[in-house]
Chains A and B, each alone.
Chain A
Amino acid sequence: MSPALGKDLLGLESLAADDIRLILDTAEPFKEISERAIKKVPVLRGKTIVNLFFEPSTRTRISFEFAEKRLSADTVNVASPGSSVLKGETLVDTARNLEAMRIDMVVIRHGSSGAAKFLADRIQSNVINAGDGKHEHPTQGLLDLLTIRDRRPIEGAKVCVVGDVLHSRVARSNIWGLLKLGARVAACGPRSLLPLGIGELGVRVFRRIEEAIEWADVLNVLRLQLERMQAGYVPSLREYYRVFGVTLERLARAPRELLILHPGPMNRGVEIDSRVADGPHSVILDQVTNGVAVRMAALYLLAGGRPELAEAAKGGGDR
């Protein structure tokens, strides 16, 4: 267990600004590993990690798996999409059974807010939250921060989260991380998709996407889940794109060049115009690349790695 970070990584709300910076700084030396011909270092050799995914996920699960494998951990994937219970077992029984096989770490994705904490409170292993319900997705928040920091200082940056903030764990982790590192944060979307009390967190609210674009340095465009339409939060995809879509025409009127982030997977032509997603201001693929580095850093620190040794550790040699 790392004295730097504690046993678990459950969310950014509970982390101090220095902890967040520590993870970002630790991620820097790990970026280079993925650029090598032989993408493997023995940092987590002998560690056993279970990726426990109760919700379907492609990129987050693959990103974690690459991070684990490139650090030489032994990994097992347990996937039970669409269900909070695995073969009738409760979450805690599942975890205890895994732990009885002597594992070191669990990466959990779950549809219920608080599920990662629920698990972390009940098992000895380190727990990394890979997304719990509508609560937090801390490694996504961290990779977004790292991607912004690659391009400009976070402190003072004006970042607007666009879209379905109400149901978004990505939005919550972004808001906490950005506020703690001194950014100014706004949210823009239909009022039916913005949570109550968001202003009290220190987040400015824009009613219109045009106003948000005029204000912001960075847009983090959220995915609009298609089931929101069925639940009546917005009338149609067509209408959403018309009113809130991040289009090339709208960006053309921005007073400054914007950085465009999207956590993926994208609905092209719904929340974002393909010409924007694939355009010069998009850093969407950089986010994906940084995701592996940030997850390596989180795994390394939770496993007890010392931040100042990250550079040396990745060079090889047993620890």
Chain B
Amino acid sequence: MIRGGRVIDPAAERDAIADLLIMDGSVAAVGPSLGTPDGAEVLDASGLVVAPGFVDLHVHLREPGREDVETIATGARAAVAGGFTSVCAMPNTDPVTDNQAAVGFIVSQAQRAGAARVYPIAAVSLGQQGERLAEFGELVSAGAVAVSDDGRPVATAHLMRTALEYAMTFGIPVIDHCEESTLSAGGAMHEGLTATRLGLKGIPRAAEDVIVARDIALAELTGGHLHLAHISTAGAARMIREAKARGVQVTAEVTPHHLALTDACCEEYNTNAKMNPPLRERGDVDAVRAALADGTIDCIATDHAPHHYDAKEAEFDDAPFGVIGLETALGVVVSELVDTGQLSLPELVRRLSTRPAEVAHLPGGTLVPGAPADVVVFDPAAAWVVDPSAFFSKSRNTPFAGRALRGRVRWTLVGGAVVHRAGDARRGA
């Protein structure tokens, strides 16, 4: 029983003070002043928000291959610490998730971890080589919920076309990382004045926009479901808005860091501000915020990308792309968008829970009776300071270290079980 919280469930158009009764891993009832069954555990949520657990369509859990920087267990634990009850693991592991054994391995590792639910995303092409389609049917039956060659774009227009068409049989989205690689080759950050001053090779906005345009044309041609990962440019936001108005089956996500930060963070050669797509300029940040607010961009996804300290402790050109985000997403979005009046709390829940669950056809994303009891209870006013040494993730590569944020998780429940409580400490911490 979660008593007296502000229950926000956009799928049910609910936003009211209510009790939430959970039985046998599912939501049993929602409503004001429910009776508490004998022996039930009661969580007092007065003053807090009770919402469907967050769903992250884009994480890199690095297992198999780089268990030194993250594992499925530590990633899933970091997820629930950030309020995420479901995460979708990208396939660019070593080996690549392009066969049913690899998909099954992720599913079984996640079950053993017992934190967030982990849904595998499988590769579009074998080995992510951009040549032959992976066996989507087998991958889906093993548990994959989408396909992507993330880390790189689907290599050719023809491959993207066939992937969109073939995926329609299984009703799964094709997720693309939009980067025209001949335009971005050798680039380390956004192409603009800051890159010019720092003497770093830039990645122009057009590298993203060219592939977004290609993919939208192919989604329009095929009728397949296209999902665009980590949108960073004003141009991409505009094209998605226009495509949606024409009825194209396109959905999109944006990361908390692209909503919050600009390329100015790369000053002093800060490698924790190096990610792909790169942080852009204020006009792009404003555009992706507006696109999130008006629904052009459907959801917020973290692109949680753990890297070793030694890898980031390097010259900017040599450092890898990527930042972690599971444990800071809520705080960043509340501080940057809710507290500034650009996003309401119900909209925040829609972008972090409802829509991502719909996009990948996942259970959860709502608290209607009968739904899985995947719940996040958070305090939107709680102030805290980001301390990477306290993360449950194995990695520390965040651009938000030391930032004062508002908005923090109190409890996270997966299938009715409390899997995270505020104040929990990392084992060995």
Residue numbers of A with Cβ under 8 A of B are: 13, 84, 90-92, 110-115, 117-118, 132-136, 169, 172, 195-198, 200-201
Contact = CB atoms under 8 A, between A and B. Distances in A.
B33 to A, nearest CB: 60
B198 A113 contact: yes
Contacts of B310: 90
Given A118-B269, A196-B191, A196-B192, A113 B199 contact: yes
Given A197-B192, A201-B196, 19 more contacts: A90-B310, A90-B313, A90-B314, A112-B315, A112-B318, A114-B199, A114-B269, A118-B269, A118-B314, A118-B315, A133-B200, A133-B317, A135-B199, A172-B197, A196-B195, A196-B196, A196-B202, A196-B204, A197-B193
B424 interface: no
A115 B191 contact: no
B41 interface: no
Nearest to B197: A13
B184 to A, nearest CB: 14
Contacts, number: 66
A195 B317 CA distance: 18
Contacts of A91: 314-315
Contacts of A84: 315, 318
Nearest to A119: B315
B268 interface: yes
A169 B313 contact: no
Given A91-B315, A110-B315, A112-B318, A135 B198 contact: yes
Contacts of B198: 113-114, 135
A197 B198 CA distance: 12
B318 A113 contact: no
Interface in B172-200: 191-193, 195-200
Interface string B310-338: 10011111100000000000000000000
Contact of B201 (A134, A136, A197, A198): A134
- List of 8 A-B pairs having minimum Cβ-Cβ separation, nearest first: A135-B199, A197-B193, A114-B269, A134-B199, A113-B199, A112-B315, A195-B196, A112-B317
A133 B268 CA distance: 15
Interface string B281-314: 0000000000000000000000000000010011
A135 B197 CA distance: 7
Interface residues on chain B, size class: 20 to 34
A84 B317 CA distance: 10
A132 B198 CA distance: 10
A114 B315 contact: yes
A117 B199 CA distance: 13
A92 B313 contact: yes
Main secondary structure of the interface of B (DSSP, over half): loop
29 contacts: A13-B197, A84-B315, A84-B318, A90-B313, A91-B314, A91-B315, A111-B317, A112-B316, A113-B198, A113-B199, A113-B317, A114-B198, A114-B199, A114-B315, A114-B317, A118-B269, A118-B315, A133-B199, A133-B317, A134-B200, A136-B199, A169-B199, A172-B197, A196-B191, A196-B192, A196-B202, A197-B196, A201-B196, A201-B197
Nearest to A171: B199
B199 A132 contact: yes
A73 B269 CA distance: 32
A200 B281 CA distance: 15
Nearest to A114: B269
Given A133-B317, A196-B192, A197-B193, A117 B268 contact: yes
Contact of A200 (B193, B200, B314): B193
A90 B309 CA distance: 13
A208 to B, nearest CB: 22
A256 B193 CA distance: 33
Given A134-B201, A196-B202, A115 B315 contact: yes
Interface in B186-226: 191-193, 195-202, 204
Contact of B196 (A111, A115, A117, A198): A198
A200 B197 CA distance: 11
Contacts of A132: 199
A210 B196 CA distance: 26
Given A90-B314, A112-B318, A118-B269, A172 B199 contact: yes
A133 B316 CA distance: 11
A95 to B, nearest CB: 12
A111 B193 CA distance: 21
Contacts of B316: 112-114
A132 B317 CA distance: 11
Contacts of B200: 113-114, 133-135
Contacts of A200: 193
A115 B271 CA distance: 12
Contacts of B193: 196-197, 200-201
B338 to A, nearest CB: 33
B399 to A, nearest CB: 17
B264 to A, nearest CB: 13
Contacts of B315: 84, 91, 110, 112-115, 118
Contacts of B199: 113-114, 132-136, 169, 172
Contacts of A196: 191-193, 195-196, 202, 204
B317 to A, nearest CB: 4
Contacts of A201: 193, 196-197
A201 B199 CA distance: 14
Scoring A110, A113, A118 by chain B CB atoms within 10 A of each residue's CB, the highest score goes to A113
